[in-house]
């Protein structure tokens, strides 16, 4: 009987200890959640009340403007970003050298459709694709043939294409809700159309702009050649121009196209990534990167693509320093150079991180416009994804809810490839992004101040969680 009583007392003690331990965990978790909620409010209130991101974007867009790598404007942007990170309060700011392509558009392009039957000449809104060769001084004059896929191109074959201009008319799919995915399908013709058409003897290509919008704004973007295929000029035509051209070709197989472009490729230029750091207080040798790309196409101001990501990243530093926050891990804001037509800045950063044996626990990129944030995409293992998604309730009061998408960002992808770094991308509402993407209307006035700041606040809050808890 006594033995039974002793065992019973012992079991009650053990249960009491287990209950106490569980209560301690619950209280700790509850306290931690309350602290995190309070920190979110603190960060959001600071960014939404006193952010300098909109003023910074004003300067970057309106005082510097288009800043394609290798250009004088790109160097001005480097100088500005260095100063802006200093003013934001970064502990350390430095430049990371990288060699970048130097392509120049030259004088405004000319694209004209000419009907031998009616003698009508129609001026179309076009722009050279980045990296394209120019035309001869007299331009290129040839019959134009429409295709909507590489299969159609192959079926027409050399006998129907040789000596002609190929018109790739593949619209972005409106049934794909995630506009980035729709863009990913359509952009294949912009990138590889010239090389494919040249195989069949084409003398130039005209590519439908990658956007859902029906307007007269042509969208530029990088294209590529193949070493074993002759290089031919490549341009984009506005969607309204593409619609007109397609309709006109149905009734006029003899239509000709006149293309005049003055673009040139020059030797590589020296440029820089700009890096600003806040030193971690507990795990300083673990790094969290937040960034965007400093370069932008020359035809607009690059306000959405990617001035927004740059100023949001700098705002993380300013907000933390203003609030006196001391992150456990070291935070690096990086203004990457040359995302648009080479990716050299992202490659160089990953190369140096690997060489220096740095431990990057996460990298975040904002490169989808300055619209209202809806969530974060990610490229990481399942355990890390689960942890990231566990923080979702903290973001719900601020309209950030979607943690389901995959992906990181072009500039941070090399970190994952070289070091296995978990990647995160800010996901704004993307339905209007491709109205502006790579166009002359990607200007400061197209960015809403409050939406821009909401993105900066969401990134700042997520970085706090990453610094405190890791992945």
Give the residue numbers annotated as catalytic, written as ranges. Answer: 339
Inter-helix orientation angle 308-323/72-88, to 10° = 20
The Cα–Cα gap between 183 and 187 comes to 6
How is residue 469 written in tokens? 């808890």
Place of tokens 């030193």: 279
Nearest CA among 398, 403, 405, 408 for reference residue 456:
398
Cα–chain-centroid distance for residue 51? Answer: 22
**CA-to-CA distance for 400 and 391, rounded, in angstroms?**
11
**Cα–Cα dist 212/436, whole Å:** 11
Rounded to whole angstroms, the Cα distance separating 160 from 85 reads 56
Q: Which two tokens stand for residue 429?
A: 């509402």
The secondary structure element, H or E, covering residue 430 is none
Tell me how far apart the alpha carbons of residues 90 and 109 are, in angstroms, rounded to a whole number.
Answer: 43
Distances (CA, A) of 203 to 140, 143, 234: 8, 10, 9
Q: In terms of Cα–Cα distance, which of 51, 27, 32, 23 is closest to 394?
A: 32
User: What is the full DSSP assignment across 279-299?
Assistant: --SSEEEEEEEEEEE--B-TT
Whole-angstrom distance, CA of residue 330 vs CA of residue 326: 9
Cβ atoms < 10 Å from Cβ of 397: 11
């Amino acid at each position: 009987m006594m033995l039974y009583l002793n065992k019973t007392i012992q079991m009650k003690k053990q249960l009491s200890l287990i209950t106490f331990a569980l209560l301690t965990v619950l209280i700790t978790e509850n306290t931690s959640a309350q602290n995190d909620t309070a920190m979110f409010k603190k960060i959001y209130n600071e960014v939404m009340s006193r952010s300098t991101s909109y003023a910074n974007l004003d300067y970057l867009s309106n005082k510097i403007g288009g800043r394609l790598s290798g250009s004088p404007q790109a160097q001005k942007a480097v100088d500005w970003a260095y100063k802006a990170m200093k003013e934001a309060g970064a502990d350390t700011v430095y430049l990371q050298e990288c060699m970048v392509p130097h392509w120049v558009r030259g004088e405004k392009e000319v694209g004209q459709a000419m009907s031998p039957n009616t003698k009508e000449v129609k001026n179309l809104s076009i722009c050279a694709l980045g990296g394209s060769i120019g035309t001869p001084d007299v331009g290129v004059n040839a019959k134009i043939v429409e295709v909507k896929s590489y299969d159609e191109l192959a079926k027409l074959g050399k006998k129907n294409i040789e000596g002609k201009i190929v018109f790739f008319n593949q619209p972005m799919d409106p049934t794909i809700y995630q506009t980035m995915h729709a863009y990913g399908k359509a952009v294949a013709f912009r990138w590889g159309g010239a090389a494919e058409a040249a195989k069949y003897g084409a003398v130039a290509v005209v590519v439908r702009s990658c956007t859902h919008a029906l307007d007269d704004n042509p969208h530029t973007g990088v294209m590529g050649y193949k070493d074993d295929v002759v290089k031919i000029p490549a341009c984009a035509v506005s969607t309204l121009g593409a619609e007109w051209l397609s309709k006109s070709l149905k009734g006029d197989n003899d239509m000709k196209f006149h293309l005049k472009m003055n673009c040139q490729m020059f030797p590589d230029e020296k440029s820089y990534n700009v890096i600003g750091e806040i030193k971690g207080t507990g795990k300083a040798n673990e790094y969290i990167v937040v960034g965007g790309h400093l370069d932008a196409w020359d035809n607009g101001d690059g306000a959405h693509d990617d001035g927004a990501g740059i100023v949001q990243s700098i705002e993380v530093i300013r907000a933390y320093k203003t609030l006196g926050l001391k992150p456990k891990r070291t935070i690096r804001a990086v203004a990457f150079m040359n995302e648009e037509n080479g990716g050299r800045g992202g490659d160089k950063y990953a190369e140096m991180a690997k060489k220096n044996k740095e431990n990057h626990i996460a990298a975040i990129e904002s490169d989808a416009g300055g619209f209202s944030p809806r969530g974060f995409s990610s490229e990481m293992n399942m355990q890390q994804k689960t942890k990231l998604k566990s923080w979702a309730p903290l973001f719900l009061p601020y309209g950030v809810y979607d943690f389901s998408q995959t992906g990181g960002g072009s500039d941070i992808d090399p970190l994952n490839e070289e070091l296995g770094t978990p990647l995160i991308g800010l996901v704004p509402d993307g339905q209007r992004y491709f109205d502006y993407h790579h166009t002359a209307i990607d200007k400061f006035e197209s960015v809403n101040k409050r939406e821009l700041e909401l993105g900066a606040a969401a990134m700042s809050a997520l970085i706090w969680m990453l610094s405190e808890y890791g992945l």
